[in-house]
Every structure is written in structure tokens, then in C-alpha cells.
Structure 1
Amino acid sequence: MNKEAITSIIENALRSGDKTPGIFDLAKIMAIKAEIQSCTTVNAVLGLIDEHRDLISKAFGLSEDAIEETVQKIRAIEG
């Protein structure tokens, strides 16, 4: 698994949102980040994104399309 590429894709997607996580969401977001960083497979990363999709969308102001595009880019890395 190419962690650097996956991290870059996720960071770029989060930057494209129109919000910054609020203080109450920040702890949850940091916990998700730690979980993603400890993943060893693409499927594990995608599972976490899917599990926390609503929070990620709300906290960063991302559309469903932006999240789905991110998922597709991550899938494309592994072929």
C-alpha cells in the first residue's frame, strides 16, 4: 500500500472543502486520522472513509461527489 500517495489524495480532498472542522469535531477527526495512518490495506482505508463519511463531509464541507472522487482515486492507486 502506498501510504504517501493515499495520504496526499486524502489531504487534497479535505483542503478542497469549504469548512474547517469545529472544536467538537476535531478530536473525532484526529482519531480517524490516526486510524487511517495505522491501516495496512487500501480496503481498510476505504472502510474507514465509508464508516465516517457523514462526519468527514460535515466537518470539511465536502460534497458526496468529492468524497466519492477521493475513494475512486485511492482505488486507482492499487489498480
Structure 2
Amino acid sequence: MCICVNCRHVQNCITYNLIQQQHNNKCNKKIISNYFIPQETLININIYYTDQTILFDWDLIECLSFIEIPGYWTI
């Protein structure tokens, strides 16, 4: 699970934005003008094979800029 959802920086984080793009998340079309660039992030990419399809699941699992605010992504 991506730790971004409970992070104070989720609304303007460039790494979270990248992960959303990789998930092809079309519902968030908000343009971020003031990007936050986190320090020392670690992204885990799981690869799943189904029949003849390859799926990738991107999750940020470590970030030194992480500041926990549970549910902040819903704001």
C-alpha cells in the first residue's frame, strides 16, 4: 500500500503524481502548480501476470519527507 495517502504532502507531491500517472488515474485532473519534491523515496513495483496481460502496481513504501496526517488525501 502506498504510504502517500496519509501524508501531509500528498496534494502537491511530484512522486505521488508520478505514481498516479503510472496507475492511469484519470479522475485526478487537478493541475499542481506548487510541486513538492520529497527526499529519498523508495518505490516498490509489483508485476502481475494474468493470461497475456502484464500489470504493474506502483507503491511508495518509504519517504524521508513523510509527515503522517491520516486521511489527508481525501481533502
TM over 0.5: no
TM-score (ref. length: structure 2): 0.28
Q: TM-score, normalised by structure 1?
A: 0.27
The structure in which a higher percent of residues are strand is 2
- Bigger CA radius of gyration: 2
More helix by share: 1
